[in-house]
């Protein structure tokens, strides 16, 4: 880059067009830009006021027409001001008559890297094309989709055959016309849409009401159809006229500005997903349990949204973990019990025998880690996996085989041999004798996040702690603090010590996010995989515990913090479930959502813009838990009603949770019609899901 830069100040004069929002007539709105050269080509950067700048500055990569070195205050001024007022920078470079050639793309790449290095620009840009600049932007984007938030503009989809024509484009590509014709799949923007559709790059395209792009098959509407068929999202806005007559609409399109702002200001968030093992709904002070001390998680709740009706996908761990990773229900996955299911779990003289369950998560399911890697995320797994088979598990089914870049401690274990170093856990080397496991995993989490921060790379970190699972072990100081803490809220003082020690370790991770400057850019999810273990947790007012379809087995805490999206200190009573995390994270990362999911994105709930479309939640537990005491069955929650169907005798239980959270009054006799309708829906869901069912024991 040539090292000369001048600071120029221009005044923008607002001009009202077509009744759209504009600056007042005669109002001067100055902004400053820097002018310089990149690889001998004129380039510019316009930065927002310092008060509006974030640690990573969102920015628009603007491609004006090739014969204009800079945007015009008169033409683009209103549009540029909208971006700047939102804290979005604008940068661009004139690449001349390069028509998307490799030489021109090299100039674009140089400007991109300059924005990251010299201006702390976001690692993904929002591309904006004016007319012929689309040739360059589309080809650069197709080769650098991981660097693109969105594409917008006027005629941003171009065809070398219609403009400028193959004969004129040959010199830019250094090819003969016949050679360029043969290489169109590589060089022609309209032939490269798949490279943008697969990672989910959204497009907004303005075109004229008399679309004369030649050849006709490549016109705007059909290009949009093709892009959508490939799985991409392309919106069209029609402007009056054609060519230059459309430019004023481009300069003043509020829809275009809103599209660019929405995507530029929403860079893919980092994701910190904290899953605590066996943490019950009442095991936090913020949930109303005064017997425990959880100041860091309580503070997290004040900074985000707390869900009062959040459900684990199953009343035991492995099925819930598989559901989070795939967005599919345990019934559909045929992973319905903690792994491996064992004959010793079957009670004496059973009426029904448990359904068969898989012993690992198959590789043919596309995990959330695999999807996020497509979008350029670094993916880390730290803690309990419990989805790779019996014992220590099989390496071919561990996290690194399911889309995670690193695996610290993830294996087949359902619980640690001990919480103190040496832990004897695969993929977790001893470090310091006596070190407490949650603190060690917190260190590993901080190291992973620091590496990604220094690399300026978005990350998803699954910190799926082994705590507060059995064995009941905690640091000596915590055990002494809780020695007398037994009674309402705790059934075992050691459990209280483990909960506070867990809270302390999570607090360190959250503090580390702040110290790295990542708080504003990180979506934090805190939840549990099933209800509290009854031997140590006091789940009241909920009925029962881990391993039961009653609320004590499946209703668990959920706290979400996402600055700028989730309003601090909010409560939600929307019923949600583990499968919802998969589509939620896809939407947060700007990725397309597959249709065949059992969950629904929670982003509208986060934004308090809408509720969810579904009417019911479903649960299926056709297996015996480790305690051998549960009855096999399925359940459905619909509104405030919950119905449980038992497989041993076909009996039904109907509860109104809003009036009877403790599930003490079976309403089947009072509302037989509702019970029958819900049972019918539950049966239909099992059939659609391919749910495996128990079998009758011999002689029963």
Residue tagged active-site, from 263, 338, 386, 469: 386
CB 366 within 8 A of CB 374: no
C-alpha distance across the termini of the chain, in Å: 83
Annotation says 386 is catalytic:
yes
Structure tokens given for 402? 């399911």
Annotation says 244 is catalytic:
no
Output b/e per residue, 456-475; b: 16+ Cβ within 10 A.
eebbbbbbbbbbbbbebbbb
Structure tokens given for 66? 């090739």
Closest CA to 468 of 390, 387, 550, 557: 557
Residue 439 is classified by DSSP as H
CA angle, corner 210, sides to 195 and 99, nearest 5? Answer: 40
Residue tagged active-site, from 170, 317, 411, 462: 317
Cα–Cα distances (Å) from 164 to 129, 158, 167, 340, 646, in that order, read 16, 9, 8, 64, 71
Closest CA to 46 of 64, 19, 66: 64
Residue 344 is classified by DSSP as G
Tell me the HSE value of 135 on the side-chain side, using a 13 A CA sphere.
29
Helices marked H in 22-61 — which ranges? none
Cα–Cα distances (Å) from 519 to 78, 283, 503, in that order, read 32, 25, 18
Q: How far apart are CA 685 and CA 617, in angstroms?
A: 10
Matching residue, tokens 């599930």: 663
Rg (CA), the chain: 29
Asked if omega into 661 is within 30° of 0 (cis), the reply is no
Burial of 481 (0-12, 13-18, 19+ CB in 10 A): middle
Number of Cβ within a 10 Å radius of residue 649: 8
Closest CA to 356 of 62, 622, 678: 622
CA angle, corner 354, sides to 412 and 314, nearest 5? Answer: 55
Strands (E), 157-219: 203-208
Structure tokens given for 264? 């530029």
Q: How far apart are CA 181 and CA 175, in angstroms?
A: 9
CA angle, corner 482, sides to 480 and 486, nearest 5? Answer: 135
The catalytic residue positions are 317, 386
């Amino acid at each position: 880059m040539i090292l000369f830069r001048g600071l120029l100040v221009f005044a923008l004069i607002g001009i009202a067009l077509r009744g759209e929002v504009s600056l007042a007539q005669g109002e001067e709105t100055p902004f400053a830009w820097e002018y310089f050269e990149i690889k001998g080509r004129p380039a510019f950067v316009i930065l927002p006021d310092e008060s509006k700048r974030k640690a990573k500055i969102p920015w628009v990569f603007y491609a004006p027409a090739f014969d204009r070195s800079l945007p015009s205050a008169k033409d683009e001024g209103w549009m540029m001001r909208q971006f700047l007022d939102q804290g979005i920078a604008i940068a661009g470079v004139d690449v001349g008559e390069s028509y998307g050639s490799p030489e021109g793309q090299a100039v674009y790449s140089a400007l991109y890297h300059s924005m990251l290095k010299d201006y702390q620009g976001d690692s993904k840009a929002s591309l904006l094309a004016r007319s012929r600049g689309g040739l360059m932007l589309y080809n650069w984007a197709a080769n650098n989709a991981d660097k693109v938030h969105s594409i917008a503009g006027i005629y941003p989809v171009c065809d070398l055959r219609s403009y400028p024509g193959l004969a004129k484009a040959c010199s830019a590509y250094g090819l003969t016309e016949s050679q360029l014709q043969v290489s169109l799949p590589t060089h022609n923007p309209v032939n490269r849409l798949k490279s943008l559709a697969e990672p989910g790059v959204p497009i907004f395209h303005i075109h004229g009401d008399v679309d004369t792009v030649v050849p006709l098959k490549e016109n705007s509407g059909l290009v949009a159809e093709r892009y959508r068929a490939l799985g991409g999202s392309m919106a069209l806005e029609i402007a009056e006229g054609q060519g230059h007559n459309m430019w004023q609409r481009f300069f003043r399109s509020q829809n275009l500005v809103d599209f660019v702002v929405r995507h530029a200001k929403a860079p893919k968030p980092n994701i910190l997903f904290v899953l605590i093992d066996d943490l019950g709904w009442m095991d936090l002070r913020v949930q109303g349990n005064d017997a425990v001390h959880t100041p860091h998680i309580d503070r997290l709740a004040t900074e985000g949204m707390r869900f009062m009706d959040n459900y684990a996908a199953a009343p035991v761990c492995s099925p819930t973990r598989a559901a989070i990773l795939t967005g599919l229900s345990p019934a559909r996955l045929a992973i319905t019990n903690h792994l491996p299911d064992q004959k010793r779990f079957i009670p004496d003289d059973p009426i029904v025998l448990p359904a068969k369950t898989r012993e690992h998560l198959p590789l043919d399911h596309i995990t959330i880690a695999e999807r996020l890697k497509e979008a350029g995320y670094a993916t880390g797994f730290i803690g309990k996996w419990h989805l790779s088979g019996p014992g220590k598990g099989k390496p071919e089914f561990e996290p690194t085989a399911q889309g995670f870049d690193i695996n610290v401690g993830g294996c087949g274990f359902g619980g640690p041999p001990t919480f103190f170093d040496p832990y004897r856990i695969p993929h977790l080397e001893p470090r310091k004798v006596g070190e407490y496991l949650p603190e060690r995993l917190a260190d590993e989490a901080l190291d992973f996040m620091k590496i990604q921060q220094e690399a300026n790379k978005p990350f998803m970190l699954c910190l799926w702690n082994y705590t507060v699972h059995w064995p009941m072990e905690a640091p000596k100081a915590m055990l002494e603090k809780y020695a007398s803490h037994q009674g309402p809220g705790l059934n075992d003082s050691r459990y209280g010590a483990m909960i506070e020690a867990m809270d302390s370790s999570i607090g360190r991770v959250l503090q580390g996010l702040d110290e790295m400057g990542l708080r504003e850019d990180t979506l934090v999810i805190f939840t549990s995989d099933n209800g509290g273990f009854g031997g140590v947790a006091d789940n009241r007012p909920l009925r029962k515990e881990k391993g039961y379809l009653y609320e004590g087995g499946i209703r668990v805490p959920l706290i979400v913090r996402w600055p700028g999206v989730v309003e601090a200190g909010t409560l939600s009573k929307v019923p949600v479930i583990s499968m919802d995390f998969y589509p939620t994270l896809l939407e947060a990362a700007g990725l397309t959502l597959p249709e065949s999911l059992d969950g629904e994105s929670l982003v509208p709930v986060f934004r308090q813009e809408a509720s969810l479309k579904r009417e019911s939640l479903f649960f299926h537990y056709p297996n015996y838990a480790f305690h051998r005491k549960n009855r096999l069955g399925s359940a459905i929650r619909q509104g405030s009603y919950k119905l449980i169907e038992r497989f041993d005798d076909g009996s039904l239980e109907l509860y109104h949770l809003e009036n009877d959270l403790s599930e003490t009054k079976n309403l089947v006799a009072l509302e037989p019609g509702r019970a029958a309708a819900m049972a019918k829906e539950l049966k239909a869901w099992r059939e659609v899901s391919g749910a495996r069912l128990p079998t009758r024991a011999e002689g029963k």
